[in-house]
């Protein structure tokens, strides 16, 4: 008698490892091909349209109960979400959603629907207590505000060499002319400048250059032996470039090119998140004693903001393309420095003078910060960052 075959038929035929996820494994989901299991019970057999995970897009009105059921059965899982879950769970399973069969757990999940706000508000639901993931649905006004703030970052970076999560003072010493930006940031700044100039000159090459630059920087960031500071610079450069790619309309790109780029975008988003998660995992607990207080603060704040902005960007992109986003709560576990106004200081003297006027405590939880603040939108880089966090995580 032969061995029991657990992998799906497509993975067996291709001789590839199968994640054994239901209703569709990660490989079949990424390739959008039918996923069938030979040994699956009869009640799990699905048609072609049901077996391929095409993450549902929420259109117009939605039912809270239907949303919870979709989440519970994994119908909102994406390739990025499967990868992210696998990394965060330290490979305790191969990307597939562990079954929740305990009636008490299921009851808790259904009762927790009260955490969802009203139909036209931002809805937030913790749906998997085992792995602390949340599904979030933004109202259109909030989503457009978030997208608008993110879209302003490449223009700021082109003009000043800094933005709400990239501070030129980290790379330039005490001046702010951004002449000493690291190589990946310089390359992405050139691209940002080309998009700012606009016009018809090389318009048909901008998107192609943007995409190739992102993929090359991802390869260098992952394969090269970089210091932690270099990894931060790569992550920042890639995020700035991905903002243009994901949120800016590409007028010279055809619909066919957009469709062909879809899988590349999903793959690059996965690598971008993995890069910033590396920052989250390997952030140094002690900084060099040669760093001044200002430089030490800038280094720590650049790391924190880069991780947070990456997760906000992925959430906004998912919300625009699918109507919802899912992210782990590890972002909210980051220590958050409430002295956001210090970001605008362009010299150590200005930083020290401002820091002396701000009473402690300084490091707070993100949830505590969002309870104390309200979006203002006055345009400064520090306030832009505050508004992004408040709009993204405020309950």
Taking 80 as the threshold, does the pLDDT of residue 208 lie above it?
yes
Residue 352 has pLDDT above 80, yes or no: yes
At 275 the pLDDT is 92
Closest of 76, 71, 12 to residue 38, by C-alpha: 12
* pLDDT-based confidence at residue 394 (cuts at 50, 70, 90): low
pLDDT tens sequence across 355-391: 888 877 788 877 777 777 666 555 566 688 888 888 8
Residue 75: how many other CB atoms lie within 10 Å = 17
| pLDDT band for position 199 (cuts 50, 70, 90) | low
How far is it, in rounded angstroms, from Cα 241 to Cα 379?
Answer: 21
Query: What pTM value is reported for the model?
Result: 0.74
Neighbour count for residue 343 (Cβ, 10 Å): 27
Average pLDDT, the chain: 75
Using the CB atoms, write b or e for 179-214: b if 16+ within 10 Å: eebbebbbbbbebbebbeeeeeeeeeebbeebbebb
- What pLDDT shows up at residue 218? 94
* Number of C-beta neighbours around residue 222 at 10 A: 14
pLDDT digits (tens, 9 = 90+) for 5-32: 678 888 888 888 887 776 677 787 777 6
Q: Which residue has the higher pLDDT, 54 or 243?
A: 243
Beta strands in 11-139 (DSSP E): 123-128, 133-137
Predicted local distance difference test score (pLDDT) of residue 151: 94
**Cis bond leading into 23, ω under 30°?**
yes
| pLDDT > 50? residue 353 | yes
Identify whether the C-beta of residue 335 lies closer than 8 Å to the C-beta of residue 304. Answer: yes
Taken as a whole, the chain contains a residue count of 395
Give mean pLDDT, residues 220-227: 82
Per-residue pLDDT band for 256 (boundaries 50, 70, 90) equals: low
Instruction: Answer yes or no: is pLDDT of 65 > 50.
Output: yes
pLDDT tens for 296-346 read 999 999 999 999 999 999 999 998 988 888 766 667 777 778 888 899 888
pLDDT of residue 262: 77
pLDDT of 97 > 60? The answer is no
| pLDDT computed for residue 322 by the predictor | 84
Contact predicate 327/311, CB 8 Å: yes
DSSP string covering 321-366: HHS-EEEEGGGGGS-EES-GGGGG--SHHHHHHHHHTS-S--EE-H
Q: How confident is the model at residue 94 (pLDDT cuts 50, 70, 90)?
A: very low
**Least confident range of 63-72, 93-102, 198-207:** 93-102
């Amino acid at each position: 008698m032969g061995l029991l075959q657990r992998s799906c038929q497509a993975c067996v035929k291709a001789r590839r490892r199968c994640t054994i996820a239901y209703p569709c494994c990660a490989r079949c989901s990424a390739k959008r091909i039918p996923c069938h299991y030979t040994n699956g019970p009869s009640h799990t057999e699905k048609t072609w349209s049901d077996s391929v995970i095409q993450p549902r897009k929420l259109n117009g009105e939605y039912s809270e109960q239907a949303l919870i059921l979709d989440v519970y059965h994994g119908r909102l899982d994406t390739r990025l979400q499967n990868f992210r879950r696998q990394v965060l769970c330290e490979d305790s399973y191969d990307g597939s959603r562990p079954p929740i069969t305990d009636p008490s757990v299921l009851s808790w999940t259904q009762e927790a629907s009260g955490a969802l706000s009203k139909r036209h508000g931002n809805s937030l639901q913790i749906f998997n207590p085992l792995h602390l993931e949340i599904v979030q649905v933004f109202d259109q006004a909030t989503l457009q505000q978030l997208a608008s703030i993110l879209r302003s970052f490449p223009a700021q970076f082109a003009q000043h060499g800094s933005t709400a999560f990239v501070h030129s003072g980290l790379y330039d010493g005490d001046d702010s002319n951004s002449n000493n930006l690291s190589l990946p940031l310089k390359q992405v700044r050139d691209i940002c400048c080309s998009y700012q100039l606009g016009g018809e000159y090389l318009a048909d090459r901008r998107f192609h250059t943007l995409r190739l630059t992102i993929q090359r920087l991802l390869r260098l960031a992952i394969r090269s032996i970089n210091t932690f500071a270099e990894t931060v610079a790569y992550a920042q450069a890639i995020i700035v470039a991905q903002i243009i790619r994901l949120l800016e309309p590409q007028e010279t790109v055809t619909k066919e090119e957009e469709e062909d780029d879809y899988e590349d975008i999903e793959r690059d988003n996965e690598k971008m998140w993995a890069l910033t998660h590396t920052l989250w995992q390997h952030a140094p607990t002690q900084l060099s004693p040669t760093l001044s207080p200002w430089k030490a603060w800038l280094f720590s704040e650049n790391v924190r903001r880069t991780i947070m902005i990456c997760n906000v960007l992925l959430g906004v992109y998912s919300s625009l393309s699918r109507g919802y986003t899912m992210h782990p709560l590890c972002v909210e576990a980051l220590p958050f420095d409430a002295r956001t106004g210090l970001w605008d200081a362009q010299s150590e003297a200005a930083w020290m003078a401002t820091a002396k006027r701000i009473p402690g405590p300084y490091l707070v939880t993100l949830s505590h910060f969002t309870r104390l603040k309200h979006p203002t939108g006055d345009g400064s880089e520090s306030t832009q960052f505050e508004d992004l966090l408040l709009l993204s995580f405020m309950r």
